[in-house]
A and B are shown apart, each in its own frame.
Chain A
Amino acid sequence: MNHDAVLNGVKVVSPDAGVRPRREALLTPGTRQTLLKIWDRLIGLVVPIILVVIWETVAQLNWVKPVFLPAPSVVLKTFINLLESGQFLGDIWISIYTVLRGFAWGLGLGLIAGTSAGMSRTVDRLFGPLLNAVRQVPPIAWLPLIVLWVGIGDFGKLVVLAKAVFFPVFLSTLQGIRSVSRDYVEVARVYEFSQVQLIRRVIFPAALPTIFAGVRLGAGLAWAYIVFAEMLAGRKGLGYILTRGQDLLQTDEVFVVIVVIGAIGFLIDYLLRHAESRLITWKKSFVN
C-alpha cells in the first residue's frame, strides 16, 4: 500500500522516476509522503481561491456595482472593522450560545426518547405515530404557534432549535437501536448481561455510528434555524446583522455574516466528525 503510494508520488514528479534507482530521487520517500498529504488537504481550496480571484477582478473592474457585489478585499476590511467594534463578536457568541443550548436540549431529549422507543415496543407504539405526524410539519411552520405561546425571545428560539435537533437525533437513535444485530443481543443473554450492561456494552456502541449521523444533521439544522429565527425577531445575533445589512443596503456586512455563518457551520461539522472518529475508534479498523 505505502509502497504504491510512493511510486505514484514519483510518477507525479517525473514520468521516468519509477525506473530510476531510489537513492537518486530528489526527496526521501517520507518527505514525499508528507508533501502528498499536504497537497491532499489543500486541493479542496483550489476552486474557492479561483472563485475569489474572479470575484475580486469583477468588482475591481466595476462590472457590477459594489452595492450588489462588494469586492472580497472590501468585505475583508469590513470584517476587520466589525471585529474591532467589539459588538460583532458579541453577536457571534449570542448565536453560538443559543445554538449550544438548543442543541443540548434537543440532543438530550432525542437520545432519551429514541432509546426508550428503541428498547420498548410499547413506548414506540404509544408515541411513534404522534411524533411521526409532528415531524412532517417543518420547524418553520410551527413558528407562528411558538411565537404566540412563548414569544420569539430567547426561549422561543430555544424551542425552535431543540425541535430541529430532536427529530434527527430521535429517529437515528431509534433506527440505530432497532438495527442492532440480534446475534449480539443473544451473546448478552448467554453471558447474562443486566439490562444496563446490555445498553451500555451492546446496544449503544452498536447504534452509535447511526446516532452520530442524526446528531450531525441536527447540529447543521440548528445552526441554520438560529440564523433564521434571529432574522425574524430580536436585535441580537448574526441573523439580526444580516437583516440590518439588508435594510441599510450594507452588502459588505451581509457578505461578512454569510462567510462567518458558513465558517462556523463548517467548524461545527468538523468538530462533530472529529468527536465521532474519537468515539468510534473500532470502525477505523474496518475502513483502513
Chain B
Amino acid sequence: MSASVTKLRVNNLKKVFPTHNGSVTALEGVNLDIKDGEFISIIGTSGCGKTTLLRVIGGLEPEYDGDIRLNGKEIKGPGADRAVIFQDHRLFPWYSIQDNISFGSKEKDSPEKREKVQHYLNLVGLNGFEKVFPGQVSGGMAQRASIARALVGKPDLLLLDEPLGALDALTRMYMQQELERIWKKESSTMIMVTHDIEEAIYLSDKIVIMSNRPGTIKRVIPVPLARPRDRAGYDFITIKEDVLKEFHLEAQHAFYYMI
C-alpha cells in the first residue's frame, strides 16, 4: 500500500436536487482527499447526504458542481474503475450466484474470466454455491456475492453504501472481519458509508464525519490503531467517545478532568 498517492480528490463539491417546490442543497463545500489503499468511513445522521456523496463519486448522480477526480480523471458517470456495493445486495434473482458475479466484469466469457469469477467466489467464501439462485441463500451470503461482483472487475475504488446495514449484529461483526481481510488481500481503496460508529472505527484508516443540511464535512478523525483491532480495547473506546462527542452522545462523566 503506497499510502501517499492521492487516489480520489473531491474539490468544493456541491449537489443540488431540484424539487417541485424549490431546490434542496444536499451537499455543499465538500472537500476530501483519499489516498491509495485507504479505508475511509463516512458517518453522519440520516439525511446528511453521505449516501448522496457516495453516489456522486460512483457516477450515479452525474450532475454536480465542483470537481471530483479519480486518478486525476474527472468523474462524469459510472465507470469500470469504480464499483458500488449497496445496502441491499441487488443481485438479479433470475441469475445464479455465479452469473451475478460474472456481471461485475465487462470481459467476454472465457476460461480466464470463469477462473477469475471462481477466484472471487472462493475469496468471499461462496464456493459450492455457484449454481444457486440468490433467493435461496441468506442475506449475509447474498451480500458476499455482491461484494464478489464488485471485486471481479478489479475496480480502483470500491464504494460501500451501508453494506452490512441489513444484517443481524453477529453476522455483521463477522462480515466486518471478512471485509477487512478482503481489503488487505486486494489492497484496494474503499469508501464506506455507515451509521455504525463501531464498524467505522473497526475498519477505517480515517473516519469522515458529516453534518446536516447542507451536508458538509465536519471533521476527519484518523484511526491510527494496529489491525486487527480490539473492539474492547482502551484506544478503541477512546476514539469511540471522540466520535460520539461529535453527535453529542457522549456519556456524562461524574468527574471532569483536563489532560
* A contact residues vs B (CB 8 Å cutoff): 183-184, 186-187, 189-193, 201-202, 205-206, 208, 280-282, 285-286
Q: Is the CB–CB distance between A190 and B83 below 8 Å?
A: yes
Residues of A within 8 A of B153 (CB): 191
Residues of A within 8 A of B133 (CB): 281-282, 285
B44 on interface, CB distance cutoff 8 Å: no
How far, in angstroms, from A285 to B95 measured CA to CA in the complex?
12
How far, in angstroms, from A282 to B132 measured CA to CA in the complex?
9
How far, in angstroms, from A282 to B95 measured CA to CA in the complex?
7
Q: Is the CB–CB distance between B80 and A183 below 8 Å?
A: no
- Which segment of B30-38, B84-92, B175-183 sits at the interface? B84-92
User: In the complex, what's the smallest C-beta–C-beta distance from B23 to chain A, in angstroms?
Assistant: 21
- Residue tally, chain B, CB below 8 Å to A: 24
Residues of B within 8 A of A183 (CB): 86, 88, 90
Residues of B within 8 A of A190 (CB): 58-60, 78, 82-84
How far, in angstroms, from A280 to B94 measured CA to CA in the complex?
8
How far, in angstroms, from A193 to B103 measured CA to CA in the complex?
9
How far, in angstroms, from A193 to B100 measured CA to CA in the complex?
13
User: In the complex, what's the smallest C-beta–C-beta distance from A151 to chain B, in angstroms?
Assistant: 45
B66 on interface, CB distance cutoff 8 Å: no
B47 on interface, CB distance cutoff 8 Å: no
When C-beta atoms are compared, the residue in chain B nearest to A280 turns out to be: B94
How far, in angstroms, from A280 to B149 measured CA to CA in the complex?
23
How far, in angstroms, from A202 to B103 measured CA to CA in the complex?
11
Q: Is the CB–CB distance between A192 and B90 below 8 Å?
A: no
When C-beta atoms are compared, the residue in chain B nearest to A186 turns out to be: B60
B46 on interface, CB distance cutoff 8 Å: no
B104 on interface, CB distance cutoff 8 Å: yes
How far, in angstroms, from A189 to B77 measured CA to CA in the complex?
9
B135 on interface, CB distance cutoff 8 Å: yes
How far, in angstroms, from A286 to B94 measured CA to CA in the complex?
11
Q: Is the CB–CB distance between B86 and A285 below 8 Å?
A: no
Q: Is the CB–CB distance between A187 and B90 below 8 Å?
A: yes
Q: Provide a sorted-by-A list of 27 A–B residue pairs whose CB atoms are within 8 angstroms.
A: A183-B86, A183-B88, A183-B90, A186-B90, A187-B86, A187-B90, A187-B92, A190-B59, A190-B60, A190-B82, A190-B84, A191-B78, A191-B83, A191-B103, A191-B106, A191-B149, A191-B153, A192-B79, A192-B80, A193-B103, A206-B92, A206-B94, A282-B93, A282-B94, A282-B95, A285-B135, A286-B93
How far, in angstroms, from A201 to B78 measured CA to CA in the complex?
18
| Residues of chain B from 26 to 73 with CB closer than 8 A to chain A in the complex | 58-60
| Residues of chain B from 215 to 235 with CB closer than 8 A to chain A in the complex | none
